[in-house]
A = this chain, B = another copy of it.
Amino acid sequence: MEKFQTLVREIEGLKTDMVNKDFLLTWQKSDAEIMATQKVAEALKMLRDHGNSTKLFDSGLAVSQFRDNSTRTRFSFASACNLLGLTVQDFDEGKSQIAHGETVRETANMISFLTEVIGIRDDMYLGAGHTYMKEVGAALEDGHREGVLPQRPTIVNLQCDIDHPTQAMADLLHLKNTYGSFEALRGKKIAMTWAYSPSYGKPLSVPQGIIGLMTRFGMDVELAYPEGYSLIPDCLDVAQSNAKKSGGNFKVVNSMEDAFKNADIVYPKSWAPYHVMETRTQLLRKNDSAGLKDLEKQCLANNAKYKSWECTEEKMKLTKGGKALYMHCLPADISGVSCKEGEVAASVFERYRIETYKEAGYKPYIIAAMILLGRFKDPAKVLGALAKNGKNRVGA
């Protein structure tokens, strides 16, 4: 556990201001806060791997609100909460809906009397998910200030229309462990590229999250998509500005091949074009199902023009030494396996399958770290105490 002690000392040295705050977008967090989250995640993983109990809560609720389907993130959140001793209570509004001011304000308080954390996924509507989380946050702030809530729960963004911080942060930890250190990421080229999928309407939050986070580590981030498949302009600005600050690089190209050239890491993944998501949100708000069907048809037809945007063995040969690390948030659309033609060739995926599982395996710890940092002022002390108490996780 010497490595653990080093980690704790490093965490001790990081100045963070995360208690009673929300984790919504990585670019709202300081470098120290990003590092603290990464290191607390690693420390919790070490404790668990070592057989230590990491139970910090004797009671307390963790509310999960999934306004879109989810299996992976649901289990990651459940695992993270369980690791810390929190009990998940699902808040299910019935059908996904765009709730309005008064209801949000009241409900946020009603579900929070004994709640420590609220995990929200709301990624269906462009302009709505992040806004909703901010509304909930303001209501919690108000409820706590007015004495309604004995504590101000921390919101963890489990994917919104703008960012998917638990995914991007797990991806970062995977990269750090693949290359040995955060320093080692400097200068590494990552190709975040659009890829063809027979489905439509996939959120933009993963590519936006990746370019927003990886540009902070001096990486050479190349975003590739067919013309018309751009992301939210603000997110491109964030990436540009981050790259400048970190001494990295950020570039947009319109060719998968260009992006793959000499890449250390490739992240081929489908998403819907920004302007389509905007139109879709308007149609959804108007409940215009004919319009939505039309849009889907057009969009799928348009997608079909770019079937060549597949991560094939040939394209992999363009990467550094032909051996770039393949990443995906899963599930991938695998050609000939989960669909006829998709994001990635079966043989490429299979070669990296286990790696993508490991990538996903960091998510429970990242979420647990976000919760821990949202609740405890002195995370180093808390982690140190867990190790010192040395209570076993399993056994009589």
Interface residues of A (CB under 8 A from B): 48-49, 53-61, 63, 69, 71-72, 74-76, 78-79, 82-83, 85, 87-89, 91, 93-94, 102-103, 106-107, 109-111, 113-115, 143, 146-150, 330-331, 334, 337-338, 353-354, 357-358, 360-361, 363-364, 375, 382-383, 385-386, 389, 391-396
Taking CB as reference atom, which chain B residue is nearest A74?
A: B89
Which of A74, A106, A143 counts the most B-chain CB atoms under 10 A from its CB? A106
* Docked-complex contact A354 and B110, CB < 8 angstroms: no
* Docked-complex contact B89 and A78, CB < 8 angstroms: yes
Across the interface, which residues of B come within 8 angstroms of A61, CB to CB?
A: 75, 78-79, 82
Across the interface, which residues of B come within 8 angstroms of A53, CB to CB?
A: 58-59
Task: Using A147-B358, A148-B354 as known contacts, say yes or no to A60 and B110 having CB atoms under 8 A apart.
Answer: no
Across the interface, which residues of B come within 8 angstroms of A392, CB to CB?
A: 58
Minimum CB–CB distance from A358 to chain B (whole Å) comes to 6
Task: Using A91-B71, A147-B358, A382-B395 as known contacts, say yes or no to A82 and B60 having CB atoms under 8 A apart.
Answer: yes
* Docked-complex contact B55 and A58, CB < 8 angstroms: yes
7 nearest A-B pairs in the assembled complex, by CB-CB distance? A385-B396, A79-B114, A53-B58, A148-B357, A78-B89, A146-B354, A386-B396
Taking CB as reference atom, which chain B residue is nearest A148?
A: B357
Q: Contacting A110 at CB < 8 Å: which of B148, B330, B386, B391?
A: B330
Across the interface, which residues of B come within 8 angstroms of A72, CB to CB?
A: 110
Minimum CB–CB distance from A120 to chain B (whole Å) comes to 15
* Docked-complex contact A106 and B354, CB < 8 angstroms: no
| 5 A-B pairs (CB sep. < 8 Å) | A60-B393, A82-B87, A82-B114, A146-B357, A383-B396
Taking CB as reference atom, which chain B residue is nearest A85?
A: B59
